Amino acid sequence: MARYTGPKLKLSRRVGVPIADTPKHTSKRALNFPGMHGFRSRRKGDFGIRQTEKQKLKYHYSVLEKQFLRYLAEANRRPGNTGETLLQLLERRLDNVIRRAGLARTVWAARQLVAHGHVRVNGRKTDRPSCTLKVGDVITIKEKTQKLAREAMESLAGHEVASWIDVNPSELTIRVVALPTSDQIPFDINPNLIVEFYR
């Protein structure tokens, strides 16, 4: 499985917005620190603006280009606004739902939780972080890993759980109760620019 293994903070700095909700990524100093060779500001053209929007979305959900193109092709096939459908597909990834529920601090931690076999969907073990969830799906965490998930929840005190999922903190279960809408995604993105980039 191909994945990005380099420095994550560099990705936030590259697109100019925090791609994770941790203090390391959200501090202004981390985003604006010029680095060893200084900072050269360049005005972006139309292509650059659209490319940056695309990169923001890829980095936020931690997907590579080939996988991102598959999501875009699927969104194109479905009826409705392609940009909104693309966001909905990415938002319903299993690793992202665990992140939104607050059972993991970052999408990378959520991905590791799934890939190591600690998560069950509707009672069945699932080790694919890219698994797309449907309304009514129930996610549970293995007993051995519940302590780790509780520690993550405690470290994310004040974390707002997305309204399209229902979390039971005592049993550590997550239920998908609705499809996410673009205004429920806590990340500033313009999906129409991304669709335009590939046209």
Same domain for 84 and 102?
Answer: no
Amino acid at 180: P
Alpha helix (H) ranges present in the chain? Answer: 8-15, 23-26, 28-32, 46-61, 65-77, 82-91, 94-101, 107-115, 146-155, 191-197
CA dihedral 179, 188, 1, 175 (to 10 degrees): -30
Residue 85 has pLDDT above 70, yes or no: yes
CB atoms within 10 A of CB 190: 15
Confidence of residue 174 (pLDDT cuts 50, 70, 90): very high
Confidence of residue 166 (pLDDT cuts 50, 70, 90): very high
Return the pLDDT at 91. Answer: 92
CB 104 within 8 A of CB 149: yes
Return the pLDDT at 116. Answer: 92
Lay out the sheet containing 119-121: strands in order across.
124-125, 119-121, 138-141, 173-176, 165-168
Range of the domain at 115: 94-178
The fraction of the chain above a pLDDT of 70, given in percent, is 87
- CATH number of 47's domain: 1.10.1050.10
Amino acid at 90: L
Query: Which one has a higher pLDDT value, 37 or 80?
Result: 80
Same domain for 98 and 174?
Answer: yes
The position carrying tokens 């699932």 is 126
Residue 70 has pLDDT above 80, yes or no: yes
Confidence of residue 173 (pLDDT cuts 50, 70, 90): very high
Residue 38 has pLDDT above 70, yes or no: no
Residue 120 has pLDDT above 70, yes or no: yes
Q: Distance between CA 49 and CA 120 in Å, rounded?
A: 39
Q: Tokens representing 5?
A: 């293994």
Same domain for 62 and 127?
Answer: no
Return the pLDDT at 23. Answer: 63
Q: Which of 88-97, 117-126, 142-151 has the lowest mean pLDDT?
A: 142-151
Beta pairing class for 173-176 and 138-141: antiparallel
Domain count, the chain: 2
Same domain for 75 and 122?
Answer: no
Return the pLDDT at 39. Answer: 54
- Burial class for 91, CB neighbours closer than 10 Å (0-12, 13-18, 19+): buried
Task: Please indicate, yes or no, if residue 116 is contained in any of the structural domains.
Answer: yes
- CATH number of 135's domain: 3.10.290.10
CA-based Rg of the chain, rounded to a whole angstrom?
17
Supply the pTM of this predicted model. 0.85
Task: Please indicate, yes or no, if residue 104 is contained in any of the structural domains.
Answer: yes
